[in-house]
Amino acid sequence: MQHFTTVLQKMEVRLADPIQYRLVGAEQDDHLDMNPLLGHELSLKFSGQMQCLNCHKKVKVFRQGYCYECFVSAPSAADCILKPELCMGHLGLGRDPAWEMAHHVQPHFVYLAATQSIKVGVTRSTQIPDRWIDQGAERAIAIAKVPYRKLAGLIEVALKQLFTDKTSWQAMVKGLDSSELSLAEARSRAFEALGPSFERYFLPEEQALHLKYPIQSYSEKVSSLNLQKQSYYSGRLRGMRGQYLLFEDGTVFNVRSSSGLVVQLSY
């Protein structure tokens, strides 16, 4: 049996057929390729220790794998990360104007993605297709390109009247797809709803990107594993989708939401 220790953070992904996943290790340049583990027993053991992903101090993590101090001060944890319409980086404002300039005063895309339904989202140009993969989308397409984050957020807010901005993780890890519209139809409805005020940012129609995940089988019933409540789990790995590990008994583990936990994987 082999062991791999890591401070959990979102899995690295690479577009392929199927998508390739790997975990970053606790030591520099250390990583674990996850695709070869499909069909094998995998155990997860939480050590009881945590480490902030931002300052790297061994303290209790709060959200996003950040300690409380970093969560309330780091620009990468500001409100506009989840609500881009609040971003003020283009005005030279924010927790760290230099960081905002480098990350938010940059081209952003508004996109439509199909998981169990059509959702609207925002991401930087450098995060395509990783953002779509992290959300477990089956198909995705960019519909607008804007010069800075707030503008993308305003478009997203306008389109929330037509589409959700949330992903149902339960439906996604069960492999359910109830989306009634094609992305081409959804794109047309989006443009019609936005009208001429945003027309100059619209992108010409392109073929949607189809994403294939490394999944051997889905479960009809699923339950979420919380390592802070259940410090040890072992099961047969059946797939990865989004940032979830899917196990044969219906257990699913959200790697990203457990960021900052020091965990040992045995396989």
Note whether 63 and 78 are within 8 A (CB). Answer: no
Return d(Cα 10, Cα 7) in angstroms, integer.
Answer: 10
Residue that has been written with the tokens 């990107």 in this structure: 209
CA terminus-to-terminus distance, the chain? 6
Q: Give how many domains the chain has, as a whole number.
A: 2
In a domain, 100, yes or no: no
98 inside domain: no
> Quick check: 23 and 51 in contact, CB under 8 A?
no
Same domain as 229, residue 257: yes
pLDDT band at 180 (very low <50, low <70, confident <90, very high): low
Asked, for residue 103, whether it belongs to a domain, the answer is no
Decide which of 163, 179, 210 is a domain's last residue. 210
Say if residue 161's pLDDT is above 80. Answer: yes
Report the distance separating Cα 83 and Cα 150, nearest Å.
9
| 235 and 191 in a common domain | no
Q: Are residues 142 and 202 in the same domain?
A: yes
Among 39-48, 128-137, 169-178, 195-204, the minimum mean pLDDT is found in: 169-178
Phi then psi for 193, rounded to 5 degrees?
-70, -35
Q: Are residues 32 and 112 in the same domain?
A: no
Query: Are 200 and 222 within one domain?
Result: no
Q: Indicate the pLDDT class of residue 167, thresholds 50, 70 and 90.
A: confident
Domain annotation covers residue 177 = yes
Token representation of residue 151: 């503008």
Q: Hey, is 239 helix, strand or coil?
A: strand
Contact between 61 and 48 under an 8 Å Cβ cutoff? The reply is no
Tell me the per-residue pLDDT of 13-37, one tens digit each, with 9 for 90 and over.
999 999 999 999 877 789 999 999 9
Task: Tell me: pLDDT of 177 over 80.
Answer: no
105 Cβ neighbours under 8 A, 6+ residues apart: 89, 90, 147, 148, 149
Instruction: Grade residue 165 by pLDDT with cuts at 50, 70 and 90.
Output: confident
- Mean pLDDT (the chain) is 95
In a domain, 170, yes or no: yes
CA angle 15, 16, 19 (to 5 degrees): 75
Checking if the pLDDT of 73 tops 70, the result is yes
Shared domain check, 192 and 228: no
Domain of residue 200 covers 108-210
Mean pLDDT (whole number) for 63-70:
94
Tokens encoding 35: 């695709």
Q: Are residues 171 and 253 in the same domain?
A: no
Quick check: 189 pLDDT over 70?
Answer: yes
Contact 242, 134 (CB under 8 A): yes
Co-location of 159 and 133 in the same domain:
yes
User: Rounded to whole angstroms, how far apart are CA atoms 50 and 26?
Assistant: 12
Total Cβ atoms within 10 A of residue 91: 12
Tell me the whole-structure pTM to 2 decimals.
0.94
pLDDT in tens, 97-153: 999 999 999 999 999 999 878 999 999 999 999 999 999 999 999 999 999 999 999
Split at pLDDT 50, 70, 90, the class of 246 is very high
Residue 134 inside a domain? The answer is yes
Residues 6+ apart with CB under 8 A from 150: 80, 84, 85, 86, 87, 88, 89, 90, 104
Binning pLDDT at 50, 70 and 90, where does residue 179 land?
Answer: low
146 & 191 share domain: yes
pLDDT of amino acid 117: 86
Q: Does position 256 have pLDDT exceeding 80, yes or no?
A: yes
% of the chain with per-residue pLDDT over 70: 99
113 in any annotated domain: yes
pLDDT(59) > 90: yes
Looking at the structure, tell me whether residues 113 and 202 fall in a common domain.
yes
In one letter, which amino acid is 259? S
One domain, residues 46 and 128: no
Which of 163, 195, 210 represents a domain boundary (last residue)? 210
Q: Among 165-179, 194-208, 214-228, which is the least confidently predicted range?
A: 165-179
Find where tokens 């099961």 sit. Answer: 235
Choosing from 168, 188, 210, the residue where a domain stops is 210
DSSP character for 249? Answer: T
- Is 45 among the domain residues? yes
183 shares a domain with 224: no
